[in-house]
Chain A
Amino acid sequence: MKNFQTSATATTADMDLWGRTLAAQLDVASQDLGHDIGERLRVARQMALKTRPIPQRLLRHSLALQANGTLSGPPDEGLNLWRILASALPLLALVSSLMFIQAIQQDLAETDIASLDSALLLDELPPDAYTDPGFVQFLKIQLHQNARHD
């Protein structure tokens, strides 16, 4: 073995080589640690791995699964136009259905009124006759007589 304290001609390369040769022997020491130390290192490694924070994307995924189970909405993932449109579709369908039903009912009412109006207009008796008190009295008398005959 070279003694570098006494060797004035020792180069950096020589010293590096000597250092590596010496350090290589330490590998033997690091491999023969014994079962106890090896087990404690294994437990330490497992404990350290448990402290690793869960990545954000995995956290989001797990929350979405929970949301599916509880029928609540998925977590907020920012402004998503398609997601907003999809969630508004049922509301739009309800409003349009109500408007359609109202339009149909309005059409039916208008049709009834129109048929009544047309019936009155097509009758031989003019509509103004019903506003005449004498005609109204005549109708009442006619109704009483019909009742007696029956």
Chain B
Amino acid sequence: MASDTEISDFLKSVEKKAFKRAYYHVGDEEGALDIVQDSMIKLCTHYSDKPAPELPLLFQRILSNTVLDWFRRRKTRNALFSNLDDFDHRDDLGDFDLLEVTTGAADAPASQSAEQWLGRVQTLEHIEKAIMSLPARQREAFLLRYWEELDVAETAAVMGCSEGSVKTHCSRAIQSLSKTLAQQGMKP
């Protein structure tokens, strides 16, 4: 059984990635924070008796299910209130907001020129937007397989599908990302 310290350290080590992963799915910071918090609470409430080595895969599974729950809740809410404003967050995919970029200017290394740093941030933004524009299952497979560095079997277990489906999703995701980024002249 994982101790308090082990669980705390584990959550601390995954919380930022989990937030970004949720953000890539839902495109909303508030929603992503809610998803990460719900996932942490579910892990602590229901699975804290599990040994520490099992926590990473369990948490990935919980996070995936919580993202699905978030979409289900939003779908229900939209059906009830017909709030079309929720679709607006996807409209800014082509925009570039200099103010958002400059908020992290203090973190830029001194040896790096402003132009280089801005170029790197823009590249990262294009990559993130390309990932966010992927279909949900392809995005999930890509992030789990390559960002969370799970193997095909683990990714299949988290996504609840076959290993063949994971390979297909990953292949299509990479082809789509490659095409999108190539059109923008991006090099990873």
Instruction: List residues of chain A with CB under 8 Å of any chain B CB.
Output: 1-5, 12, 15-16, 18-23, 25-34, 37-38, 40-41, 44-45, 47-49, 51-53, 55
Contacts and interface: CB of A to CB of B under 8 A. Distances in A.
B15 A45 contact: yes
B142 A48 contact: no
Interface string B99-117: 0000110010000000000
Given A22-B177, A38-B16, 10 more contacts: A5-B178, A12-B167, A22-B188, A40-B33, A44-B36, A47-B41, A48-B43, A49-B44, A52-B7, A53-B45
A1 B182 CA distance: 8
A22 B188 CA distance: 5
Chain B contact residues, majority secondary structure: helix
Interface stretch (B63-71, B72-80, B83-91, B168-176): B168-176
Contacts of A3: 178-179, 182
B157 interface: no
Chain A contact residues, majority secondary structure: helix
Interface residues of B, number: 51
Contacts of B49: 55
Given A18-B188, A44-B37, A23 B147 contact: yes
B127 A25 contact: yes
Interface of B: 1, 4, 7-8, 11-12, 15-17, 19-20, 29, 33, 36-37, 40-41, 43-45, 48-49, 103-104, 107, 120, 123-124, 127-128, 131, 142-143, 145-147, 149, 167, 170-171, 173-175, 177-179, 181-182, 186-188
B147 A51 contact: no
Contacts of B145: 19
B45 A20 contact: no
Contact of B104 (A34, A48, A49): A34
7 contacts: A2-B178, A40-B33, A41-B15, A47-B41, A48-B43, A49-B44, A52-B7
B17 A19 contact: no
